[in-house]
C-alpha cells in the first residue's frame, strides 16, 4: 500500500523544484509579451495536500494558498493561522460563509448576488470589508458555476454597492484541456471583460485582479493578462481523491 500512496506524495525537494519551475515559466511567459513578472501572483492550490507540504512551500517563499473546501481551510487555519495567506477558490455555499469570513483574504468564487449578500452580512459582523472576485463562466460550460459574460458588469455594479464587499476583479476556470492554446480565446475574452469593468467606474469595484490559469494552461493565461494564477498539481503533484 505504501508504494501506491507514494505516487501522490512529493519530496520537499520536488516541491521546491516545482515552485522554481512555475516561477521560471511565468517569467518566460511575461518576457514573451513584455510584462513584468512582478505583476503575476502565484496562488498555490493546496487542496487535499498536507500541512507539511504547505510548510515546505512556505519555507521556499510561497505564502499564498488557495483552498476549495471550507472544511480544509478551517482545519489548516487551525494549524497555520495567519502564517499563511488563504484564498477561497472553490464553490462556496452561502451557509458556509460564516466559517471562513475571518480566515481568508480573498474569495475568488462569488457566482451569485445571494452569495454576495451573505458575504456582506458575515463581513459586517466582523467589521471588515471582504475582497472578492466575480466568477465568470466565460466558456459557457454547463458544468461550471459563474456569471455569464453578459451578466458580469450589471452584477458587479450591484455587488460593489454592498458596503462590506469590495470587488477586486474577475476569476474563471477555463475548460479542461490537454492543449493550453485552446483556452487562449477564453482568457482573452475575460481580459476584455476586465478592461470594460475597469472603465465602468462602479463604486466598490477596482477590477485590478484577473484570476485565471491553472497547471495545464497558466503560461497562456499569463500571456493574455492574468494577474493571479492558481497552480496546484504543478507544485504539489497529483491528488488522492480516494483518501
Tens-place pLDDT, residues 152-170: 999 999 999 999 999 999 9
pLDDT value of residue 208: 97
Instruction: Give the domain CATH number at 180.
Output: 3.20.20.10
Provide the whole-model pTM: 0.94
Q: Which residues pair with 44 in a beta bridge?
A: 65, 231
Residues 6 or more apart from 112 whose CB is under 8 A from it? none
Cα 205 to Cα 29, 146, 147, 226, distances in angstroms: 28, 18, 16, 18
d(CA 120, CA 28): 39
pLDDT score of 86 more than 90: yes
What's the mean pLDDT in 64-69? 98
At 181, give phi and psi (nearest 5°).
-60, -25
Q: Is residue 7 part of a domain?
A: no
Q: Is residue 192 part of a domain?
A: yes
Q: Is residue 13 part of a domain?
A: no
Where in the sequence is the domain holding 119, given as residue range(s)?
A: 21-236
Q: Is residue 46 part of a domain?
A: yes
pLDDT band at 240 (very low <50, low <70, confident <90, very high): confident
Q: Is residue 158 part of a domain?
A: yes
pLDDT score of 5 more than 60: no
Q: List the single range of 31-45, 54-68, 92-106, 132-146 with lowest mean pLDDT.
A: 132-146
Domain count, the chain: 1
pLDDT band at 78 (very low <50, low <70, confident <90, very high): very high
pLDDT score of 88 more than 50: yes
Q: Which residues pair with 136 in a beta bridge?
A: 147
Amino acid at each position: 500500500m505504501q508504494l501506491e500512496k507514494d505516487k501522490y506524495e512529493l519530496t520537499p525537494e520536488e516541491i521546491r523544484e516545482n515552485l522554481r519551475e512555475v516561477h521560471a515559466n511565468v517569467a518566460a511567459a511575461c518576457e514573451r509579451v513584455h510584462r513584468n513578472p512582478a505583476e503575476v501572483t502565484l496562488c498555490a492550490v493546496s487542496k487535499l495536500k498536507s500541512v507539511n507540504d504547505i510548510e515546505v512551500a512556505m519555507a521556499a517563499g510561497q505564502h499564498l494558498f488557495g483552498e476549495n473546501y471550507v472544511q480544509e481551510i478551517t482545519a489548516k487555519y487551525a494549524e497555520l493561522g495567519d502564517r499563511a495567506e488563504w484564498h477561497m477558490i472553490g464553490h462556496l455555499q452561502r451557509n458556509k460563509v460564516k466559517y471562513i469570513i475571518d480566515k481568508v483574504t480573498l474569495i475568488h468564487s462569488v457566482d451569485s448576488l445571494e452569495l454576495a449578500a451573505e458575504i456582506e452580512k458575515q463581513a459586517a459582523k466582523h467589521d471588515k470589508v471582504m475582497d472578492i472576485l466575480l466568477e465568470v463562466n466565460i466558456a459557457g460550460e454547463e458544468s461550471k458555476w459563474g456569471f455569464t459574460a453578459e451578466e458580469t458588469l450589471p452584477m458587479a455594479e450591484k455587488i460593489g454597492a454592498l458596503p462590506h464587499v469590495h470587488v477586486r476583479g474577475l476569476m474563471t476556470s477555463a475548460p479542461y484541456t490537454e492543449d493550453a492554446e485552446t483556452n487562449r480565446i477564453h482568457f482573452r475574452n475575460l481580459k476584455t471583460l476586465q478592461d470594460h469593468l475597469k472603465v465602468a467606474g462602479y463604486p466598490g469595484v477596482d477590477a485590478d485582479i484577473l484570476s485565471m490559469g491553472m497547471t495545464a494552461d497558466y503560461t497562456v493565461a499569463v500571456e493574455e493578462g492574468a494577474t493571479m494564477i492558481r497552480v496546484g498539481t504543478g507544485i504539489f503533484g497529483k491528488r488522492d481523491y480516494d483518501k
